[in-house]
Amino acid sequence: MVVASINLMSQPPFMIEKVISENKIVNYNNQPLLLLDFWASWCLTCAPATKQLEILQELRPNDVFMVAVSDEKEEAISNYLRRNPIRLAVLKDYLPNSMVEYFNVYS
């Protein structure tokens, strides 16, 4: 997970390739904080971390909106979600303007 404070007016535009699934806990309603959880299907610690973020999302629905972001192929993401459902919004990162690269996420 990466927590960063950014000024979006001075940053390059970020894009997502696809919304794989919507947040099943809360709808986006201009929450003051957007939390990006970068995860991968091969990451052993990502599944329990995501479960903790789902609990936090339930506890703070008006304060934060959580999004799970992966730069893997859509097939890999979908296969993972069949085995390990994620109730947060799941997005496929857009290449070549990847948020994963911009935030230097490597493990």
Q: How far is 37 from 48, CA to CA, in rounded Å?
A: 12
What's the chain's average pLDDT? 87
pLDDT tens-digit map of 19-68: 999 999 999 999 999 999 999 999 999 999 999 999 999 999 999 999 99
Cβ within 8 Å of residue 66, ≥6 positions away: 23, 35, 37, 53, 54, 56, 57, 88, 89
The third-level CATH classification (topology) of the domain covering 15-102 is: Glutaredoxin (3.40.30)
Q: For residue 64, which of 37, 86, 32 has the smallest C-alpha distance?
A: 32
**Are 41 and 69 contacting, i.e. CB atoms less than 8 angstroms apart?**
no
Global pTM value: 0.82
Rounded CA gap, 61 and 29, in Å?
Answer: 9
